[in-house]
Structure 1
Amino acid sequence: MLTVAVLISGTGSNLRALLDAAADPGFPARVVVVGADREADGFAHAEHFGVPTVLVPFREFETREQWGAELRAQIDVWTPDLVVLSGLMRLLPADLVDAWAPALINTHPAYLPEFPGAHGVRDALAAGVTETGASVIIVDSGVDSGPILAQERVPVLPGDTEHSLHERIKPVERRLLIEVVRAVATGEIDLARASSDAVASDPSSS
């Protein structure tokens, strides 16, 4: 059984979808802890499913590195096999990424490498594209630049706003996240291999 830690900052809609999936006895993963960098509404989902929560407020630390060290200490107590960033609106310090990767994944509301960063939906609309998407990646030291594990296109419709487009992307993100977690649990996705293959295929790594 794959054990999963989920890190959130807000409402935790992806977290809820994963918890719902994991409630099925046939699902090969379970969420063992939910952490946040601030008081998060998504903690209510964890509490509903009886999952422990960890709060490590970013503002209580002088540096990102100190915050990251405490977050790592709090999460590593649960020895998760996989850490999922689910709407965590905080960049992890590099040493924490190095400690958890490649068993550290994130969702993004764009078809990477298109429109990385915090405003992927807004940027897609501003670019006037006819389609964007959703992606699940391994987190690395860059901005949404890690190896892609799954992605799917989502059309941009006439009259779309940032809100309406994002609302159509979210269900795709949730489904892809659940599929990836399942595939990691069953061995269909080997995170270490996916990470090393990405490095080997990157010309800048040679």
Structure 2
Amino acid sequence: MQLNFKEIFTAFMVLFAVIDIIGSIPIIIDLRKKAGQIQSEKASIIAGIILVLFLFLGKSILNLIGIDVNSFAVAGAFILFFIALEMILGITLYKQEETTAVTTAVFPLAFPLIAGPGSLTTLLSLRAEFRTENIVIALIMNVIFIYIVLKTSSRIERFIGQNGINIIRKVFGVVLLAIAVKLFAHNIKALFEIA
């Protein structure tokens, strides 16, 4: 087991930016109003399980359908690119279905809000570059942070304010855009080397 704190920190920041739990506070508050309450523990644990399972089984699933990790990582870079554009420009490219379910902890909170297409793709993209144990630690750190945010979302919103949330979203959007470009460049190069 080779722990690399630089890898852990980078993986944590990438996942933190993609999951964007701070930027999702308005959605979380809206869900809390609709459902009455949010089961923070359940939502965090389910999202964590989905993400860890995909980290370990995602590559096998891809092999089963004949896609290599580099191709998936390039596709992931595009998704990250569009998520970053959403964050920076304040536009919505991905429309989420409206739900008022009692199972808010699972849908849409754990999936697709936390463990969504962006975070799942990011995990495989990270796996192409980083060691698995470092990603798992970064993932656990993110799940703990998600739990804290879910538990204290209304207080965070009052403290930061809407402008603060918007600034955080834009800053992480720029970071994510840079990561998307790096991921694309690294994996497209690997694809051409294979070809």
Normalising by the smaller structure, the TM-score range is under 0.3
Return the TM-score normalized by structure 1: 0.25
Return the TM-score normalized by structure 2: 0.26
Between Structure 1 and Structure 2, the one with more strand by share is 1
User: Relative contact order (alpha carbons < 8 A, sep ≥ 6): 1 or 2 greater?
Assistant: 2
Between Structure 1 and Structure 2, the one with more helix by share is 2
